[in-house]
Amino acid sequence: MAQSPHIGNGQSAIMRKYKIIASLKNINQASDRLEINYGVLDSESTGALKQTIANVLKSFDDLEISDEKRKYIETLKKQNMGYKVDIDYSKLDESNEDLLLAYTLKTSIQKVLSERKAIIYRDMTLNTNY
């Protein structure tokens, strides 16, 4: 029985998807800066990340924060609508310790990346073609 010539391509595609998400997750966990290039992500990961980032940034609208932070949040919102978003968590840190802007955004993104990594891994291991 001959193997499909597309199996190798599928394997590399799903493995590449897994490695990209795993790498983003590790960078987000260890770094104060995260650059997400939506062009290299699968559509489900892109949608989940864009939606999460938009929701978290929108939740900051009613908070009393400095004009500098508000401008940076608006910049992030605009970037998030495009193909790339570059998040510098240190620019979100607020002197008011009650407002955990950077922590809230970082943990929300980390949750999405963890979920996507688990789903992709499950798909990879349960599908015998990969």
Q: Per-residue confidence of the chain (130 residues) as pLDDT tens digits?
A: 344 444 455 567 888 999 999 999 999 999 999 999 999 999 999 999 999 999 999 999 998 888 999 999 999 999 999 999 999 999 998 666 657 899 999 999 999 999 999 999 998 888 755 4
Displacement of CA 107 from its chain's centroid (Å): 10
Dihedral sign for Cα 2, 4, 5, 7, please. Answer: negative
Number of Cβ atoms within 10 Å of the Cβ of 92 = 23
Phi-psi region at 56: left, alpha or beta (left = phi > 0; alpha = psi -120 to 50): alpha
Q: What is the pTM of this model?
A: 0.86
Domain borders along the chain are 8-126
In 1-130, DSSP assigns E strands to 33-37, 84-88
16 SS3 class: helix
